[in-house]
Amino acid sequence: MKMKKDVIAMTEKLFERDSNLKTCEATVLECEQAPQGFAVVLDRTILFPEGGGQLSDTGTINGAAVRHVRETKEKIIHECAGEFPVGSKVTVQVNWQDRLDHMQQHCGEHILSYAFFKLFGANNVGFHMNERFVTIDLDKEVTLGEAYQAEDFANKQVWENLPVTVSYLPHTEVEHLPMRKKNEKLTGILRVVAVKDGDICTCCGTHPTSTGVVGLIKVTRIEKHKTGTRVEFLCGRWALEDARKKMRYIQEAGNMLSTKEERVCESIERLEGEIAELKEKLRAAVAQLQENEIQKLLQEAPVNSAGNKILVSVKDSYEPKSAKTLFGKLSDVPNAVVAVIYRSGERVNYMFGLGPGAAGDSKAIIAKANEIFGGKGGGKKESAQGGAPYAADWKEKAEKLIAIMKNA
């Protein structure tokens, strides 16, 4: 049911003045049916709407879950599971863990961006926060070593527990501040977030009152992005849980390799060498087996009425790469009609071709194969390939097709 006052809904943003507020009382201005519940507009809220790179808060209105908050023009819309009469008084509660996680990431982004700017003159030109995934995009390339220098600089500011302040200033005053980045298009009263002896920039997001709340800033990856660098990082609880997860992976890898954690990479490198050596031996063995098979096929090959040798190989549990190699070698045999039919997992694949000087039509053969196997495939006169779902009687179907080829 749609319920709406005939007034312009303007929501007071309590979260901008005090990011530590956990609850507030509010009046319902609008409540409309939405695809997944109700779109609720309040006269005031502590729930931050997604924007500026920061995720939406979650929480409750009178105990009903608020899954997402968004802002359109002067309205802040709470996507809520509950329906409320317009004009009713409600209690809004923020999911504090989500709020704290987001504040840690966003404040950490300011501090880390300032470190790259201060140390290397690299500007943050993009910020994105997702669940357990935060990035900044820099306008110049930095090395991993430089990223660690910036990480050290940033964490020093965290551990000094510097004050973080929010000010509302006219744009004419903001122009004179030592801003990390300036946007001359912004006018009027601007919200400025400042870290003592550090970052100063305009920002709409929620931040703690001191850097110590961020806890830890950890760069997890850097990669080239356009003409600059994308830096992945995590802060606070997210960084701690990520470190625990990766430590568990290293411990498990060490146990699997029967080696100490600090020698895992060395053991993997050694193992890769051993695998490469075994693959080469296997390749040589397969090649020799194929040569032996080809010789046997040539000795036993029937000849059809057109004078073509019929060379057919049927394989169970065969690798596609090996099958392709075998097919290529058989297709080099003059006056040969070639078929390689093999099972690979839950598929039966088939390839048909003509050797130099052979008379026949691979396209006609695969049409028959598709009919017999219930599969799909195509090609041209000289070569065709396809496949079908595995069936227990696939070998009997292969024999039926071979008989047709011999009598063609």
pLDDT tens column, 290-347: 999 999 999 999 998 888 999 999 999 899 999 999 999 999 999 999 999 999 999 9
Query: Phi then psi for 16, rounded to 5 degrees?
Result: -70, -35
Q: Where are the beta strands (DSSP E) in 346-406?
A: 347-354, 376-379, 383-389
Region 255-269: mean pLDDT is 94
Residue 305 pLDDT: 84
% pLDDT > 90, the chain? 88
Please say if the pLDDT value at position 3 is more than 60: no
Residue 407 or residue 56, greater confidence: 56
Residue 176 pLDDT: 86
**Beta bridge partner(s), residue 387:** 349, 376
Residue 131 pLDDT: 87
Computed over every residue of the chain, the mean pLDDT equals: 94
Please say if the pLDDT value at position 237 is more than 60: yes
Residue 175 pLDDT: 85
pTM, two decimal places? 0.74
Query: What are the helix (H) ranges across 208-353?
Result: 236-257, 264-300, 320-331
Region 61-70: mean pLDDT is 97
Q: Which homologous superfamily does the CATH classification assign to the domain defined by 100-254? A: Threonyl-trna Synthetase; Chain A, domain 2 (3.30.980.10)
Task: Give per-residue pLDDT as tens, 76-132.
Answer: 999 999 999 999 999 999 999 999 999 999 999 999 999 999 999 999 999 999 988
**Residue closest to 34 by CA, chosen among 11, 6, 58, 67:** 67
Q: How far apart are CA 31 and CA 4, in angstroms?
A: 6
% pLDDT > 70, the chain? 98
**Angle 30-66-21 from CA coordinates, rounded to 5°:** 95
- HSE, CB side, 13 Å, CA atoms: give it for residue 57: 32
Please say if the pLDDT value at position 280 is more than 50: yes
Residue 165 or residue 283, greater confidence: 165
Contact 85, 4 (CB under 8 A): no
Task: Give per-residue pLDDT as tens, 6-16.
Answer: 444 589 999 99
Domain boundaries 301-406, CATH class: alpha beta
**Angle 187-170-16 from CA coordinates, rounded to 5°:** 90
Domain 3-94 has CATH 2.40.30.130: yes
